Chains A and B, each alone.
Chain A
């Protein structure tokens, strides 16, 4: 099973709202990732968690707050977003980080629209 699940599939929120994106994997992977993707562009890395600890933050604005409650779950808390934050948000997981064990499997994404 190489499945990463994400909820919700679609999300519309106002600029004053607080919402959360959820990601889950049951492959025993110890690395999990959040990406942001604009139309027809490659995914852009936001955060990396390795063994439930935040290891990389790509200078993401504080209105995005990641959380890794356990090795299977990854959340992205959203607050006071801007319309330019509208995008497809992808979660991915890999056995570990690094070249030989870093093969990433992506979830289906959450399509976010900020009004």
Chain B
């Protein structure tokens, strides 16, 4: 089936550091979405990617749609305490209208 792999489950970084997280699959995806979720809140859309090779930025965040269409990465530069949360990748394969989610990466930022 369609699965999105996000590893590791948790990441710990120092405030001010850059961090990169990726999302991989054995299936081809046509759309990649990156969400951040704070405790008790709904996921917030960070970046949406629609074309292979596409590189998109949103402030300190940059994400890329892999050219093989089987992966995507998200970079956060100069991390700050409010970057703490769970980061989910998600995507569509085009086989149906269901969004596939990765298991998420919990990011902790040490001041």
Residue numbers of A with Cβ under 8 A of B are 2, 4, 6, 31, 40-43, 45, 48, 50, 55-56, 88, 90, 92, 97-100, 102-109, 111
CB proximity to A under 8 Å, residues B28-86: 30-31, 33, 35, 40-45, 48, 50, 86
Pick the residue among B42, B94, B103, B104 that contacts A108 (CB under 8 A): B42
The closest CB in chain B to the CB of A43 belongs to B101
With a cutoff of 8 Å between Cβ atoms, the chain A residues found around residue B106 in the complex are: 40
Number of A-B pairs, beta carbon distance below 8 Å: 68
Residue pair B42, A42 in contact (C-beta under 8 Å)? no
Bound-state CA distance A41–B86 (Å) is 10
- Chain B residues bordering chain A, tally (CB within 8 A): 26
Bound-state CA distance A56–B95 (Å) is 14
The closest CB in chain A to the CB of B29 belongs to A99
Would you give 24 A-B contacts (Cβ < 8 Å), ordered by A?
A6-B42, A40-B106, A41-B103, A42-B90, A45-B99, A55-B97, A56-B97, A88-B42, A90-B43, A97-B97, A98-B92, A99-B30, A99-B31, A99-B50, A99-B93, A100-B50, A102-B92, A102-B97, A103-B48, A104-B33, A106-B35, A108-B41, A109-B41, A111-B40
